[in-house]
Amino acid sequence: MTTQRVLMVGAGLSGAVIGRELATAGYKVLVMDSRPHIAGNCHTERDPKTNVMVHVYGPHIFHTDDEEVWDYVNRFQTFRAYKNRVKTTTRGGVYSLPVNLHTINQFFGKTLRPEEAFEFITQEQADLSIEDPQTFEEQALRFLGADLYEAFFKGYTVKQWGCHPSELPASILKRLPVRFNYDDNYFFHKYQGMPENGYTDMVAKILDHPNIEVQLSTTFTRAQCDGYQHVFFSGPIDGYFDYELGRLGYRTLDFEKFSCDGDYQGCAVMNYGEESVPYTRITEHKHFSPWESHVGSVCYREYSRAAGPKDIPYYPIRQVEEKALLADYVALAQKTNNVTFVGRLGTYRYLDMDVTIREALDTANAYIMAKKAGEITPAFLVLPL
C-alpha cells in the first residue's frame, strides 16, 4: 500500500490535533499556515523585554469537562492550576464577574444571603414576563433584570459585537453563569489550567512527529490540494471558495500594547462595562502565569471592530444574514470532494479550545474509520447551521 498523504490547512489546534492523529495512524501529513508561527490564535510568546508569556491574540484560558481532551493536552504539556477570576469596572466601582453574590450585594448595597439574593433577583429584578428569551437582551432581562444588564452587559456587548444586544442570540450570554454564592470562578468546568510553557509550545509538541512536516508563511491556494488524498481546511470557509458568494462577517480585535513595572491592575483581565470607555478590557499577561515572577509587566488594551478583508477574523457574527450566506457556503462545501472543513473558521462557529480539540479528535477518528471502510468523508462532522 502506498503511503497516503493528507494536507492540513492551518496550524492551529484543529490542524495540529487532526495532523497528529493521522500521522500516528501512518499518514504523511503536511501542515501549512499563512502565518509565520504555529498555534493560530492561541499563539503565545515571551515578551523580549520583560520575559512575560504573552497571549498574542488575546486571553486564552483552558477549561473543560471532557476527560479525554484534558488527558490529551496533558500528554503534551504540564498544565498549571489556574482559575480565571475576571473583574469589571463600571459606574465608578470594581465588581467581580460572573455575576455572583458578591457582585449583587456590592452593586445593590445589600448584605443578602444566597436564598435572599435569589428571591431579590427573581422577584424584584428579573422580567418574568419574558417566557422564552431569544435574544441576548431578553436573556439578560429575564434572568438578571435591567439594572445589572445595563451596568455590566449592555455597554460591553455593544462594544464587543458592534450591535445592540437585542440583535444577538441569547446563546452568547448563556456562556456566563449567574451565581448565588461567592464563587467567582469564571468557568464551571472540572478542569482548568494554563500550559506551563505556553500554548505554542504545546502545539509544537503535538506537531512533533516524524510523519508531520510543517510549512509556515505559506498562503494556501486550491492548486496546492493536488497530490493529496484529503485536505482538512481550518481557514475561513468563505476564503476556501475565494469569497465567490460574498464575505462572512467577523469581529476583529486591535490590541494596544503597553509595558510598565510592577503590577498594573492586580488581575489578569479587567473588563470595562461602559460604552464610554472605548476598549472592552485590559489584559495583564503576567497574571496568566502566577507561578512565575517578573519585575516588568505587559498589558493589552483590547478594542473590537468589524473585520475588513485584511484583518484577522476572531469572532464569527452569526446573525440572520450571515447564517443565510453560511448555508450557501455549506452547500458548496458539501459538493466539494476530499475536503473537510474544521475548527472555528472552517465551520464559522464561536468555539472554545476544548471543543475544538474534541471535534478534531472525532474528525480524525471518523476519517480513519471511513477510509478503512472505503467510504467518503463528509465535508463537516458537525453541520454548522
Cell 505556553 found at: 198
Q: Between 214 and 253, whose beta carbon lies closer to ligand UDP? A: 253
Distance CA 269, CA 62 (A): 15
Q: Which of the following is catalytic: 116, 328, 352, 362?
A: 352
Peptide bond just before 236 cis, omega within 30 deg: no
Does residue 179 carry a catalytic annotation? yes
Residue 317 one-letter amino acid: I
Q: Between 55 and 230, whose beta carbon lies closer to ligand UDP? A: 55
Distance CA 95, CA 108 (A): 11
Q: Which of the following is catalytic: 113, 175, 222, 305?
A: 175
* The Cα angle at residue 252 between residues 248 and 258, in degrees rounded to 5: 170
Distance CA 257, CA 297 (A): 11
Q: Which of the following is catalytic: 33, 302, 322, 359?
A: 302
Instruction: Tell me how far, at minimum, the Cβ of 153 lies from ligand UDP, in Å.
Output: 4
Question: Which grid coordinates are listed for 63?
Answer: 477549561
Distance CA 53, CA 296 (A): 12
Sign of the dihedral defined by the CA atoms of residues 193, 197, 33, 160, in that order = positive
Distance CA 274, CA 7 (A): 45
Query: Dihedral through CA 112, CA 275, CA 166, CA 118, nearest 10?
Result: 0
Q: Between 241 and 315, whose beta carbon lies closer to ligand UDP? A: 315
Q: Which of the following is catalytic: 179, 318, 344, 358?
A: 179
Q: What share of the chain is helix, strand, coil (3-state, %, to 5)?
A: 35, 20, 45
The angle, 0 to 180 degrees and rounded to 10, between the axes of the packed helices 13-24 and 199-207 is 30
Instruction: Tell me how far, at minimum, the Cβ of 111 lies from ligand UDP, in Å.
Output: 24
Q: Which of the following is catalytic: 35, 251, 301, 349?
A: 251
Q: Between 89 and 229, whose beta carbon lies closer to ligand UDP? A: 89
Q: Between 152 and 367, whose beta carbon lies closer to ligand UDP? A: 152
Contacts with ligand UDP, residue ranges (CB under 6 A): 88, 97, 152-153, 156-157, 160, 172-173, 175-176, 271, 273
Instruction: Tell me how far, at minimum, the Cβ of 173 lies from ligand UDP, in Å.
Output: 6
Query: What is the bridge-based pairing of β-strands 86-90 and 93-97?
Result: antiparallel
Sign of the dihedral defined by the CA atoms of residues 358, 9, 20, 373, in that order = positive
Instruction: Tell me how far, at minimum, the Cβ of 176 lies from ligand UDP, in Å.
Output: 5
Does residue 20 carry a catalytic annotation? no
Instruction: Tell me how far, at minimum, the Cβ of 371 lies from ligand UDP, in Å.
Output: 35
Q: Between 113 and 164, whose beta carbon lies closer to ligand UDP? A: 164
Residue 154 one-letter amino acid: K
Instruction: Tell me how far, at minimum, the Cβ of 97 lies from ligand UDP, in Å.
Output: 6
Instruction: Tell me how far, at minimum, the Cβ of 256 lies from ligand UDP, in Å.
Output: 17
Q: Between 100 and 340, whose beta carbon lies closer to ligand UDP? A: 100
Does residue 46 carry a catalytic annotation? no
Closest CA to 315 of 357, 348, 353, 354: 348
User: Hey, is 272 helix, strand or coil?
Assistant: strand
Question: Which grid coordinates are listed for 52?
Answer: 512575560
Closest CA to 21 of 204, 200, 212: 212
State the catalytic residues: 175, 179, 251, 281, 302, 350, 352
